[in-house]
A and B are shown apart, each in its own frame.
Chain A
């Protein structure tokens, strides 16, 4: 799986693809519940970054890496 759907409500970045997703969006894209995503993050299986105020963001590349390597 090489492409991820882009939520319509978000502004498109320059590249045309989102660079990162919230946990909620990541859960929807992966087809799992929120807790599964937080477990992946907590175990270091899904690397995240933090937005300015500290909100967790899942880089698109990490989602793709998870799907390819898990």
Chain B
């Protein structure tokens, strides 16, 4: 594979190492979150099927959840820590929702609702993508600020861009290393 990037200078290499040290926790946590989102997105069809099947079963032991808006929902399945898919019967048919249990209190909040199980899962995925994008933007700003303070007068934009791009695309690269084509997943 042809590499069009010029070889970094010693100063740029040092700056990249400084970034990795300074933002080590970001570099550790970001790929974990991104992987979780990508797995969730790939799993939407299977999850929606499971939600629909669980909705069709009426078990007396089903878990009842009252959300902060007063609505009563029946839990279908857990999606992630504190997040679950729910449904409720209405006059016009079944309504689905993604409900989140607040990590700071006992309340439950509806994050997404729809007549379609796939739609609520897609809405959740989109919301998580937006949060990941916000994270990458904030990290990019922090990295630029860090370099401007540590290397005053030096143009380190290229270093900052390379490190942040490595981070935000690292999972896709890991998933597609054996493939030659990107799936175009961006944050």
Contact = CB atoms under 8 A, between A and B. Distances in A.
Given A32-B103, A35-B33, A67-B104, A41 B134 contact: yes
Interface stretch (B1-9, B141-149, B173-181): B141-149
Contact of A70 (B29, B107, B142, B144): B107
> What's the dominant secondary structure at chain B's contact region?
helix
B134 A42 contact: yes
> What's the dominant secondary structure at chain A's contact region?
helix
Contacts of A69: 105
**Interface size band for A:** 20 to 34
B149 to A, nearest CB: 10
A67 B103 CA distance: 9
B138 to A, nearest CB: 5
B138 A35 contact: no
Interface of A: 22-24, 30, 32-36, 38-39, 41-43, 53-56, 66-67, 69-70
8 contacts: A24-B26, A35-B30, A42-B134, A53-B145, A55-B138, A69-B105, A70-B104, A70-B105
Given A24-B25, A41-B134, A56-B141, 13 more contacts: A32-B103, A33-B33, A34-B25, A35-B33, A35-B131, A35-B135, A36-B103, A38-B134, A42-B127, A42-B130, A42-B134, A43-B131, A70-B105
